[in-house]
Structure 1
Amino acid sequence: MKKRIRHYLAVALTLSGVAINAYAVAPGFYIGIMGGPATNNAKETTVQAPDDQDNSANTNTSPVTFKPKSNQFATRVFMGYKVNPYAAIEMGGSYYSTIRYETKTGDNTCGTPSISLGSVDLVGKGSIPLGWFEVYGKAGVAGVYQHTSGALDSSSDITITYSDGTTATVNSCSKSSSTTQARGTASLGISYDLSQNVVADISYNRLFTSGDTGAITTYALGISYHFVDKYCGQFLCDD
């Protein structure tokens, strides 16, 4: 009797294992898109701005303080290769909405203060399969492009020459600047297999930028399509 019970339990466990993995996504190439709200860690910044917008008359400067808006939106498109049920390698490109600043104190004479960001990343992905669900983590490096408007930099002295040949040193608004730097990136998430080709996920993502913006955190919903064979039980499906 005990042997028969053990036999039935073994059969039940085997069948449940097949059912749980019915929609398991096989290793292979995939593409996807994700997006959601993002927050930056930019701080208030104070610069010296010319008292007048006319370069020929700017002989004095005054402090201007800008306060950043922390809320943004981020989106990322990506492609990757799932090596096995536990590991994948992935490459993606991210766009972040512009970080806007408002003038807190002083008179801004140098245009709109803002920072624009974009990144390209290469990450490794480790996964723990749990039936139709999967818990995963990603970590890697990102090339981050940052464009900063001139209003966020203090004015600089320039020498101008008048029509009569005389010269004068005046203050001028700074020009916009751009930088590209390598930074770390990491993610934690949970995915759900909608089918053997389509996977949805929710994730927490961190881009470890520095300088004016600080680190950027994104909470994203994503979907991906996997170019892999579909299985019906132990065999390939006919469709």
Structure 2
Amino acid sequence: MFNFILFVSQFLRVTKQYLPHLARLCLISTFLEDGIRMWFQWNEQRDYIEATWSCGYFLATCFVLLNLIGQLGGCVLILSRNFVQYACFGLFGIIALQTVAYMSLNAVGGLLLLLAESRSEGKSMFAGVPSMGESSPKQYMQLGGRVLLVLMFMTLLHFDSSFFSILQNMVGTALIILVAIGFKTKLAALTLVVWLLAINVYFNAFWTIPAYKPMHDFLKYDFFQTTSVIGGLLLVVALGPGGVSMDEKKKEW
């Protein structure tokens, strides 16, 4: 166990400059993939919206165009580190729009973590008065992001009676709870990253399924949802748990 903790510490020291970039790429991968899919499946997406909502050709086209530009534009801004907060709010709007259209709510926790990363530390609420710890908006965004990562993770659980599925759910749930409450946060998050990465590549290998089969799209969706969760966890590793966490409170004790 000690050797593993030492390895994690060395890994974080070596990768601290590159980890946030990898985390951001993984986190927005679901938006990136969806935006590219809007481009290549333009007609299918437009026809689906037109048929489902009976909104007409023009409004359906506007919906698909807004999703395409909003998602790809937001991803470019986040990856280039330009207007990150505006890009995150734009992607929040896309999530709200897709929740109405597709009944889908994803990546909210990860976007909160991106917002927290982009914000500078807030000032103390009472200038000149000593406090037990800073309570900046950034720290509460980190807390909200960690908690919402639990909801994102819950969508990845598969409930069946197989031994490996039960083991996968138990191990993953235990680790994500540690991340949510901020206890041994970096160690738990990095362990869960390795766990999810192995499961994702093994179980969601959509590239092995012909594109015309429905299972291809199903596995592809699961793959990028899992990748987004991995990105959020990597951002937790890069940022730390923040002030509202058990790890931070232990320093005061």
Structure number with bigger Rg: 1
TM-score by length of 1: 0.23
TM-score by length of 2: 0.23
- Higher strand fraction (1 or 2): 1
